[in-house]
Amino acid sequence: MVSTIKELEKAALEIRKNLLKLCSIQSIHIGGDLSVADVMTVLWQYQMKYDPSDIHAEERDRFVLSKGHASAVTSFNQAMIGCFDADDVIKEYATDGGRFSMHSCNLVNPYVEVSTGSLGHGFPIACGIAAGLKLKGNFQSRVYVVMGDGEQSEGSIWEAAMNAVHYKLGNLIAIVDLNGLEADGPISELTGLGDIAQKYRAFGWSVQECDGNNIAELKAQFDRLPAPTSETPTVLICHTVKGKGVSFMENQTKWHAGKLTQEQYESAVSELTREFQNKWGID
């Protein structure tokens, strides 16, 4: 497990570099992958109880990707903890017979808890898993579900939110990647999402908010989560920047998905590396 801020930021840098390498080979949903990269890094490299050598251990934490298009950043995080090699993700992504693609699929990748893709579906599934754990008497495991902000307009999201409170699923941790943009433009102009924190509070959830691109803040938020025995579900609303870390991608709808030229790839990697080195005084 990675524990220091510097180690986690280094891990996030490597995750982003792998994402950019894949994006230089083929089109991926790079904007949303980069916005949630820090969240995923702290979750997978620091927070979750998950042993790649015993993926069916009853005491493990469960992960559900409701934000289906963030499959690449999930896979690179799983590679970093030893599920497979990062090069495997790059070689097999969107290939016939490959284990990795635009949406995570447990039919070909055993490290995927459930197959997801259609937005708004992963959250209800996560609620079901959390309820099942309680019924089985497992009060030590949590269920983490990562959602996008665009899918918050799905009715199934709010049905699940009510269900989680009714069944006192304090072992459920919902994470919202709130980057403010979806494929067709700004969320504020398309879905009228409004104050999402207020909405979850009205439904009875415990709400935590933070800068989702700040590793130190994220780590602190995970450290203060209630115990899995809690009876109130928690939502962590992460305010992020779409395309975070690559200046020509940040807050640009056109980079919801796309492919990098070699020049763009080299420029993006150089920018990310330089920022990390400057922050930590590395020559």
pLDDT digits (tens, 9 = 90+) for 21-44: 999 999 999 999 999 999 999 999
Beta pairing class for 181-182 and 185-186: antiparallel
| Digit-coded pLDDT (tens) for 7-25 | 999 999 999 999 999 999 9
Confidence of residue 173 (pLDDT cuts 50, 70, 90): very high
Kindly tell me if the per-residue pLDDT of 185 is higher than 90: no
- How far apart CA 131 and CA 133 sit, in angstroms, is 5
65/198 Cα distance (integer angstroms): 23
Per-residue pLDDT band for 283 (boundaries 50, 70, 90) equals low
Q: Which residues, 6 or more positions from 97, have their beta carbon under 8 angstroms from its beta carbon?
A: 108
- Residues 36-55, buried b or exposed e (16+ Cβ, 10 A)? bbbbbbbbbbbbbebeeeee
- For 36-186, where are the alpha helices, taking DSSP H only? 37-42, 71-80, 86-92, 122-135, 155-166
Q: What is the pLDDT of residues 96-118, one digit of tens each?
A: 989 999 899 999 999 999 999 88
- In this prediction, residues 257-276 reach a mean pLDDT of 97
Structure tokens at 124: 């209800």
Q: Tens digits of per-residue pLDDT, 232-255?
A: 999 999 999 999 999 999 999 999
pLDDT at 50 over 70: yes
What 107-115 contacts at long range (C-beta under 8 Å, 24+ apart), as own/partner pairs, is 109/75, 110/55, 111/52, 111/55, 111/78, 111/83, 111/84, 112/65, 113/62, 113/63, 113/64, 114/64
Q: What is the pLDDT of residue 250?
A: 97
For 58, phi then psi, to 5°, come to -60, -30
Res 282: pLDDT: 85
pLDDT, tens only, 77-87: 999 999 999 99
Report which of residues 184 and 147 the model is more confident about.
Answer: 147
Q: Where are the alpha helices (DSSP H) in the chain?
A: 5-25, 30-35, 37-42, 71-80, 86-92, 122-135, 155-166, 187-190, 196-202, 215-223, 262-280
pLDDT grade, residue 191 (50/70/90)? confident
Q: Which CATH class is domain 5-280?
A: alpha beta
What is the spatial distance between Cα 59 and Cα 175, in angstroms, rounded to a whole number?
21
Question: What pLDDT, on a 0 to 100 scale, did the predictor assign at position 135?
Answer: 97
Within 8 A by CB and 6+ apart from 38, the residues are 12, 212, 213, 214, 215, 218, 240, 244
- Residue type for position 14: E
Average of pLDDT values for 217-237? Answer: 98
Average pLDDT over residues 178-188: 88
Q: Is the dihedral of CA 21, 24, 25, 29 positive or negative?
A: positive
From the CA atom positions of the chain, what is the Rg in Å?
Answer: 18
Do 109 and 120 form a contact (C-beta atoms < 8 A)?
no
Mean pLDDT, the chain, rounded, equals 96
What pLDDT band is residue 183 in, cutting at 50, 70 and 90?
Answer: confident
Calculate the dihedral angle through the C-alpha atoms of 199, 205, 207, 213, rounding to the nearest 10 degrees.
-80
Average pLDDT over residues 66-74: 95
